[in-house]
């Protein structure tokens, strides 16, 4: 059984949030879509790194984020 505990998702690069799929209280499986981050004219779909339950979503569509900024808590 995989018991990797993931508590947060950080921005892998600076960019703009285009769409947020996850909301607080959602139970997600590894690989589920969390949000879309546009960076350097490319859209990157950020996926859940493990089975998680979303506690807090700190972003919304249109937000600009910096690399390393915490975007979601699990």
Q: For the chain, report the end-to-end CA distance as a whole number of angstroms.
A: 19
Contact 55, 71 (CB under 8 A): no
CA distance 20 to 18: 7
At a CB cut-off of 8 Å and minimum separation 6, what does 62 contact?
16, 17
Contact 52, 6 (CB under 8 A): yes
From first to last of the 74 residues of the chain, give the pLDDT tens digit: 455 678 999 999 999 999 999 999 999 999 999 999 999 999 999 999 999 999 999 999 999 999 999 999 99
3-class DSSP assignment, residue 55: coil
Residue 4: per-residue pLDDT: 60
Residue 6: per-residue pLDDT: 82
Torsion sign over Cα 3, 60, 56, 11: positive
């Amino acid at each position: 059984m995989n018991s990797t505990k993931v508590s947060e998702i950080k921005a892998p690069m600076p960019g703009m949030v285009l769409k947020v799929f996850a909301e607080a209280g959602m139970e997600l499986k590894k690989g589920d879509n969390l949000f879309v981050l546009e960076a350097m004219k490319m859209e990157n779909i950020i996926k859940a790194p493990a089975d998680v339950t979303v506690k807090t979503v700190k972003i919304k569509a249109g937000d600009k984020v910096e690399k390393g900024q915490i975007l979601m808590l699990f």
